[in-house]
């Protein structure tokens, strides 16, 4: 890829409501645009027909993994970290195989699991995902010196202060100093029209947040309005622990 190329990576993290993901996938297909759709391995998200249809539209399907958080919940009193990692990689392998029974999977992306003390991305400090036929994990393999990151986590584009893991530590302060902080989609579009955006961007969307202005839209609004202050407190607590450790 020519480093001068303008590239936008459209990433979709399907945490819930996969029926919203198929709507977005169809809209993008009608516009000749392809994206990457990462599904959690939970019953509410792992909908075979939806996954197959999205793939048939030319989009990539990936695994939105959360294995360390998952296995640690099953053994909440375990202090044997090595055992948790061993169980985590087995859980990863199991669910990756289940996804591959539906569609090919070549990339993965960590699910934040904000209530867990475990960051599932840390699994790759001990193991190598290439041994599972995985060619990339965006949080690990993208060079954020070149790629600007936007995410709607917290139901806002400037939600890095209420996000525990869906952010790029070490880079957000640099982007903020450059004025690369946006409150609304309209501000992003205005920056695009004024050619103020970087040439390489990854944008993450959570499809459950994108609804018509109906009861579901208001439910998501109220839910995030309640969650964000709690997440901000968790961020401060964990930042304080990291500073003191």
Res. 35: pLDDT tops 50: yes
State the Cα torsion 227-229-232-234 to the nearest 10°: -70
Q: Quickly state the pLDDT bin for 214 (edges 50, 70, 90).
A: confident
**What confidence tens digit (pLDDT) does each residue in 65-116 have?**
999 999 998 887 778 899 999 999 999 999 999 999 999 999 999 998 877 8
Q: What is the pTM of this model?
A: 0.86
Q: What is the pLDDT of residue 142?
A: 95
Q: If 0-12 CB within 10 Å is exposed, 13-18 middle and 19+ buried, where does residue 119 land?
A: middle
Q: What is the pLDDT of residue 225?
A: 67
- Whose structure tokens read 């993965």? 108
Q: Which domains does the chain have, with CATH numbers?
A: 7-244 (3.20.20.370)
Tell me the average pLDDT across 19-45: 96
Q: How far apart are CA 135 and CA 130, in angstroms?
A: 6
Q: Quickly state the pLDDT bin for 154 (edges 50, 70, 90).
A: confident
Q: What is the pLDDT of residue 238?
A: 63
Q: What is the pLDDT of residue 1?
A: 45
Q: How far apart are CA 64 and CA 70, in angstroms?
A: 12
**What confidence tens digit (pLDDT) does each residue in 190-202 have?**
999 999 999 999 9
Q: What is the pLDDT of residue 157?
A: 87
Range with the largest mean pLDDT of 30-44, 102-116, 146-160, 176-190: 30-44
Higher pLDDT, residue 222 or 203: 203
Percent of the chain with pLDDT over 70: 87
Residue 161 in tokens: 């202060």
> Can you tell me whether residue 156 is helix, strand or coil?
coil
CB contact set of 176 (below 8 Å; sequence gap of 6+):
none
Res. 2: pLDDT tops 60: no
């Amino acid at each position: 890829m020519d480093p001068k190329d303008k590239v936008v990576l459209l990433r979709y993290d399907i945490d819930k409501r996969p029926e919203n993901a198929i709507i977005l996938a169809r809209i993008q297909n009608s516009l000749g645009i392809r994206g990457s759709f990462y599904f959690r391995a939970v019953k509410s998200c792992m909908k075979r027909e939806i996954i197959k249809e999205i793939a048939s539209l030319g989009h990539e399907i990936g695994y939105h993994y959360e294995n360390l958080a998952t296995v640690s919940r099953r053994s909440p009193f375990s202090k044997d970290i090595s055992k948790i990692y061993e169980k985590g990689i087995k859980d990863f392998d199991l669910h990756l195989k289940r996804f591959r029974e539906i569609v090919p999977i070549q990339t993965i992306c960590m699910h934040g699991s904000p209530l867990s003390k475990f960051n599932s991305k840390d699994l790759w400090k001990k193991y190598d995902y290439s041994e599972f036929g995985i060619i990339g994990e965006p949080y690990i393999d993208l060079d954020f010196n070149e790629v600007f990151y936007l995410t709607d986590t917290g139901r806002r584009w400037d939600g890095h202060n209420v996000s525990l893991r869906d952010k790029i530590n070490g880079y957000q302060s640099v982007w903020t100093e450059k004025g690369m902080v946006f409150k609304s989609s309209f501000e992003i579009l205005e920056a695009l029209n004024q050619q103020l955006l970087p040439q390489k961007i990854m944008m993450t969307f959570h499809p459950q947040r994108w609804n018509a202005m109906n009861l579901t839209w208001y439910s998501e609004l109220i839910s995030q309005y309640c969650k964000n202050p709690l997440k901000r407190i968790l961020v401060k607590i964990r930042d304080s622990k990291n500073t003191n450790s």
